[in-house]
């Protein structure tokens, strides 16, 4: 997850939680070496009451307690909330250990925000080009190159046409683009044939060679941000927040913090629009998915929790509509919003301005807890959007000129619609990236060896003179072959087959 700042003790929403639920928080926010910190915790056995789970290491260390019996006894809201995905949430032993924080939608999905994978482009780049229809990889990069030529400097710094997130576990942004460019959905480190269901690692495929050859050509033109291969995640965010990066491939949630910074600096024209870029016009893009719960990740109760029953009751109670409004995107009635004479919720201009101020939000919103905990997405039981910004009146009033002109030009009413007006149903196994691999297993060790190879070779391949590309690529393929990558693929194939068998609806 993104590195959030420590919530201040005077934050009004945490005070509201304390008053209404008698619950307080002490945060242990990991910075830098996440794997090292997890290793320290699992080796010592010292865990907080609650853990944000995005690593299999906590499962393997026995750090989590099963939640299904607790939910059955004490949490009717949680039981109803997860009813549609309950079987998918179970581990091989039949128990549920984590509560997905995202992707469980009720009612109508009102959101105009897009948080999944895309080729992102600065809105000002599209504006200056006259909002052209951009479909292919070549069209996308020509757009960035033309803008950089006209604007070699932005805010006193050299313009970066295209950067790549390569830091630690975020390096999937370096290897995943070929999946999408070839029309596959986000199955993580590989592709799944929609007919045969064959799984293949993305690392050695011809579509990857095509992508990295393109990056190699672009590097010769000075388009690629060469320092991206040594940047930390924080440096990546800082570059985006500077307003000088024109494009990149990423998932929207990963750079949201940098976008928030651009907004607070009054550089909204430097924020980003998603594009469903493909290799050529014959490919149907498949970036946008149907809503997807983050199975196997989310909130878990540790074996050291002093009162699991109290915790699960709190998680259940805060899933009420009224609590979700306060903890989530509405806030406190009378302070953050109010109702007009017709009973319609709205914000004043002053209240809307506060929502653009990161410092104000740190003091007045429970952003970190809301990010981590089970939540209502879509709409409340009365039909209102879970995010007050998606109420029609607020959406119209708060819409920026940049977005209004862009949406009008592309005949859409949201950024998800820019990616796909009507995405296909998710395949029964989807997504393969949620398949968990145990530490120390042959599949895990194999992938770690392959990861070391691509981390070493792909930056070299991108930055090499064009004449060396083919030889380096063949050397890279040879090194991958020595990692035993076929064992990783065999494990993924077996898990995909298992999902198809267990999750295919029975007639």
Q: In 287-406, which ranges are E strands?
A: 298-301, 338-339, 345-346, 377-378
Q: How far is CA 122 from the centre of its chain?
A: 19
Distance, in Å, from the CA atom of 302 to the CA atom of 457, rounded to the nearest integer, reads: 39
- Is the pLDDT at 443 greater than 70? The verdict is yes
Distance, in Å, from the CA atom of 387 to the CA atom of 52, rounded to the nearest integer, reads: 23
Q: How far is CA 84 from the centre of its chain?
A: 22
- Is the pLDDT at 103 greater than 60? The verdict is yes
Tell me which DSSP letter residue 232 carries.
-
| CB atoms inside a 10 Å sphere around CB 320 | 14
- CB of 301 closer than 8 Å to CB of 64: yes
Q: How far is CA 308 from CA 21, 55, 65, 301, in A?
A: 15, 21, 9, 7
Mean pLDDT of all residues in 123-139: 98
- Is the pLDDT at 506 greater than 70? The verdict is yes
- CB of 265 closer than 8 Å to CB of 283: no
- Is the pLDDT at 180 greater than 90? The verdict is yes
State the alpha helices, DSSP H only, in 231-366: 233-241, 256-264, 308-317, 321-327, 349-354, 358-364
- How sure is the predictor about 6, in pLDDT bands with cuts at 50, 70 and 90? confident
Pick from 201, 370, 188: nearest CA to 296: 188
User: Superfamily for 48-111+292-397?
Assistant: Periplasmic binding protein-like II (3.40.190.10)
Mean pLDDT of all residues in 333-351: 96
Predicted pLDDT at 40: 87
- How sure is the predictor about 160, in pLDDT bands with cuts at 50, 70 and 90? very high
pLDDT in tens, 41-55: 899 999 999 999 988
**Which string of DSSP letters, residue by residue, matches 469-494?**
HHHHHHHHHHHHHTTTHHHHHHHHHH
Distance, in Å, from the CA atom of 99 to the CA atom of 300, rounded to the nearest integer, reads: 7
Tokens encoding 224: 């690629």
- CB of 72 closer than 8 Å to CB of 79: yes
Distance, in Å, from the CA atom of 59 to the CA atom of 64, rounded to the nearest integer, reads: 6
Burial of 43 (0-12, 13-18, 19+ CB in 10 A): exposed
The proportion of the chain whose per-residue pLDDT surpasses 70, expressed as a percent, equals 98
Distance, in Å, from the CA atom of 156 to the CA atom of 68, rounded to the nearest integer, reads: 56
- How sure is the predictor about 33, in pLDDT bands with cuts at 50, 70 and 90? low
Question: Over 77-135, what HEC string results?
Answer: HHHHHCHHHHHHHCCCCCCCCCECCCCCEECCCCCCCCCCEEEEEEHHHHHHCCCCCCC
Tokens encoding 146: 């033309």
- Is the pLDDT at 94 greater than 70? The verdict is yes
| CB atoms inside a 10 Å sphere around CB 3 | 12
- How sure is the predictor about 469, in pLDDT bands with cuts at 50, 70 and 90? very high
Distance, in Å, from the CA atom of 473 to the CA atom of 432, rounded to the nearest integer, reads: 26
Mean pLDDT of the chain: 94
Q: In 369-506, which ranges are E strands?
A: 377-378
Predicted pLDDT at 495: 95
User: What are phi and psi for residue 192, nearest 5 degrees?
Assistant: -120, 120
Tokens 């750079």 — which residue? 255
Mean pLDDT of all residues in 109-114: 88
pLDDT in tens, 377-393: 999 999 999 999 999 89
Q: How far is CA 426 from CA 186, 188, 429, 431, in A?
A: 10, 14, 8, 8
The proportion of the chain whose per-residue pLDDT surpasses 90, expressed as a percent, equals 84
- How sure is the predictor about 31, in pLDDT bands with cuts at 50, 70 and 90? low
Predicted pLDDT at 1: 46
**b/e for 84-120, b at 16 or more Cβ within 10 A?**
eeeebbbeeeeebbbbbbbbbbebebbbbebebbbbb
Predicted pLDDT at 199: 97
Which sequence spans correspond to the domains of the chain?
48-111+292-397, 432-503
Tokens encoding 158: 């050299």
Q: How far is CA 460 from CA 133, 331, 426, in A?
A: 33, 49, 36
pLDDT in tens, 271-293: 999 999 999 999 999 999 988 88
Q: For residue 349, how many C-alpha atoms fall within 13 Å in the half-sphere facing its CB?
A: 0
Predicted pLDDT at 155: 95
Distance, in Å, from the CA atom of 410 to the CA atom of 412, rounded to the nearest integer, reads: 6
Q: For residue 248, how many C-alpha atoms fall within 13 Å in the half-sphere facing its CB?
A: 25
- CB of 405 closer than 8 Å to CB of 271: no
- Is the pLDDT at 430 greater than 70? The verdict is yes
To which H or E segment does residue 246 belong?
Answer: strand 245-251
User: What pTM value is reported for the model?
Assistant: 0.82
């Amino acid at each position: 997850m993104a590195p959030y700042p420590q919530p201040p003790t005077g934050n009004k929403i945490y005070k509201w939680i304390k008053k209404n639920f008698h619950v307080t928080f002490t945060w242990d926010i990991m910075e830098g070496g996440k794997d090292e910190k997890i290793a320290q915790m699992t080796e010592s056995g010292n865990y907080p009451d609650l853990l944000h789970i995005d690593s299999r290491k906590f499962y393997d260390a026995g750090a989590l307690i099963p939640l299904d019996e607790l939910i059955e006894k004490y949490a009717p809201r949680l039981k109803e909330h997860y009813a549609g995905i309950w079987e998918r949430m179970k581990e091989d032993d039949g128990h549920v250990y984590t509560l997905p924080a995202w992707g469980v939608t009720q009612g109508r999905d009102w959101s105009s925000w897009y948080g999944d994978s895309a080729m992102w482009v600065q809105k000002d780049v599209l504006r200056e080009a006259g909002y052209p229809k951009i479909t292919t990889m070549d069209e996308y990069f020509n757009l960035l190159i033309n803008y950089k030529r006209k604007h070699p400097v932005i805010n006193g710094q050299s313009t970066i046409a295209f950067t790549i997130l390569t830091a630690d576990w975020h390096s999937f942004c370096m290897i995943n683009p070929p999946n999408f460019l070839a029309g596959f959905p986000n199955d993580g480190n590989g592709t799944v044939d929609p007919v045969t269901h064959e799984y293949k690692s993305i690392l050695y495929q011809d579509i990857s060679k095509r992508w990295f050859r393109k990056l190699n050509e672009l590097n010769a033109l000075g388009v690629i941000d060469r320092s991206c291969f040594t940047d930390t995640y924080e440096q990546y965010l800082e570059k985006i927040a500077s307003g000088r990066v024109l494009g990149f491939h990423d998932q929207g949630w990963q750079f949201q913090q940098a976008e928030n910074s651009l907004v607070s600096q009054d550089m909204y024209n430097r924020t980003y629009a998603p594009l469903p870029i493909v290799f050529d016009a014959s490919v149907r893009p498949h970036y946008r998915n149907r809503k997807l719960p983050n199975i196997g990740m989310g909130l878990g109760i540790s074996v050291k929790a002093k009162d699991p029953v109290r915790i699960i009751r709190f998680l259940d109670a805060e899933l009420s509509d009224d609590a979700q409004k306060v903890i989530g995107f509405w806030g406190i009635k009378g302070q953050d919003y109010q109702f007009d004479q017709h009973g319609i919720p709205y914000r004043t201009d002053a209240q809307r301005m506060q929502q653009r101020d990161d410092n104000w939000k740190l003091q007045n919103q429970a952003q970190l807890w809301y990010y981590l905990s089970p939540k209502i997405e879509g709409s409340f039981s009365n039909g209102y959007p879970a995010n007050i910004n998606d109420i029609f009146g607020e959406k119209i009033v708060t819409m920026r000129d940049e977005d209004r002109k862009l949406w009008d030009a592309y005949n859409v009413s949201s950024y998800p619609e820019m990616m796909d007006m009507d995405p296909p149903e998710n395949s029964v196994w989807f997504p393969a990236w949620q398949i968990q691999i145990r530490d120390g297993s042959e599949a895990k060790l194999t992938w770690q060896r392959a990861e070391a190879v691509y981390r070493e070779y792909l930056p070299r391949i991108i930055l090499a003179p064009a004449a060396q590309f083919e030889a380096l690529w063949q050397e890279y393929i040879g090194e991958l072959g020595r990692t035993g990558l076929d064992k990783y693929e065999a494990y993924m194939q077996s898990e995909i087959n298992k999902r198809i068998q267990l999750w295919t609806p029975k007639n």
